[in-house]
């Protein structure tokens, strides 16, 4: 079983990301809660709140065990005859105060199960960027960082992972993307275990390095009340996606996870009201979304 090693490595990853985020906002404070899962295992949830740059961030670790997978997990696997499973992961979401700084999300996860006498495993995860105001240069930087990650491991899968990310982080009822994308992968086990594990850990590192660069570049930019209002309005799209389509949210709730930790990814403030005419802002943003998907 590889779960024991992954728990140690993912816990270390969680700590590293917490420290990196706190470095981005010297006013931020962390609040950590440890919890137990009713089937087995548990987690460690960390909420970060700042007064200057980070309005709210969540960096959560969980490792749960069980004998029955929720429907959200079975959808793509075709697993039958499951005897036991363990799902371990780290998830991150950052909601900045400044609307010029994008919201961003990352998760890495490892799944291991016993089916009869057979042990199976795979990795999944990825990261994406949900901006409110974005430039072509920022898009190029974000995409090139994701491509460099894939190229580093010589797995020639950037186009596939990028396309999967674009297709997944999409709101059908709005007919629009959630953001500019990134990479998203699942059931990664065709390479040897060590290479898959290293790719997973490097995914988390690439995310925090790339996001920190964009964050620091934009955190001192001035913004208006209208721009802040647009940010709160567009956050509604993030909430809609997480509640309607996100498989991680569904898995957590269906498997009996701690609701407060699962829903910690939600923004602290959100609005579906248009306090201003946002037509120009939205047209520019959707144009950038379209550019990012080419």
Taking the C-alpha atoms of residue 214 and residue 98, their distance in angstroms, rounded to an integer, is 12
pLDDT at position 109: 96
Active site (annotated) includes residue 105: yes
Spans in the chain with pLDDT lower than 70: 1, 69-83
Residue 277, H or E segment: none
Q: Residue 70: give its domain's CATH number.
A: 3.40.1500.10
In this prediction, residue 67 carries a pLDDT of 78
pLDDT at position 229 is 97
Determine which one of 31, 95, 105, 173 is catalytic: 105
How does pLDDT run across 23-67, given as a tens digit for each residue?
999 999 999 999 998 778 999 999 999 999 999 999 999 999 887
Count of structural domains, the chain: 1
- pTM exceeds 0.85 for this model: yes
Range of the domain at 167: 3-292
CA distance 64 to 102: 31
Going from the C-alpha of 208 to that of each of 104, 204, 214, the distances in angstroms are: 10, 6, 10
**Interatomic CA distance for residues 176 and 55, integer angstroms:** 26
Q: Which pLDDT score is estimated for 80? A: 61
Scored b (16 or more CB within 10 A) or e, 189-208 reads: eeeeeeebbebbbebbebbb
What residues form DSSP beta bridges with 54? 96
């Amino acid at each position: 079983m590889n779960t024991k090693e992954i728990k140690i490595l993912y816990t270390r990853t969680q700590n590293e990301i917490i420290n990196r985020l706190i470095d981005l906002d010297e006013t931020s404070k962390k609040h950590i809660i440890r919890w137990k899962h009713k089937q087995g295992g548990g987690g460690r949830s960390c909420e970060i709140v700042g007064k200057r740059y980070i309005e709210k961030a969540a960096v959560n670790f969980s490792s749960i065990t069980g004998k029955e997978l929720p429907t959200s997990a079975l959808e793509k696997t075709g697993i039958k005859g499951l005897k036991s499973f363990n799902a371990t992961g780290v998830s991150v979401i950052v909601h900045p105060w400044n609307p010029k700084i994008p919201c961003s999300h990352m998760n890495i996860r490892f799944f291991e199960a016993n089916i009869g006498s057979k042990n199976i495993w795979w990795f999944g995860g990825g990261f994406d960027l949900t901006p409110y105001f974005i430039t072509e240069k920022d898009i190029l930087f974000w995409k090139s960082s994701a491509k460099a990650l894939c190229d580093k491991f010589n797995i020639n899968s950037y186009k596939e992972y990028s396309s999967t990310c674009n297709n997944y982080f999409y709101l059908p009822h709005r007919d629009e993307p959630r953001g500019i994308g990134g990479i998203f992968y699942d059931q990664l086990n065709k390479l040897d275990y060590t290479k898959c594990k290293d790719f997973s850990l490097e995914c988390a590192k690439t995310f925090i390095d790339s996001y920190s660069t964009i964050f620091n570049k934009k955190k001192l930019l001035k913004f208006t009340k209208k721009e802040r209002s647009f940010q709160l309005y567009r956050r509604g799209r993030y909430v809609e996606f997480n509640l309607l389509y996100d498989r991680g949210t569904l898995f957590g709730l269906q498997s009996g996870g701690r609701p407060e930790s699962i829903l910690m990814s939600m923004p602290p403030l959100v609005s579906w009201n248009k306090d201003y005419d946002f037509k120009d802002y939205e047209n520019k943003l959707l144009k950038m979304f379209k550019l990012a998907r080419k």
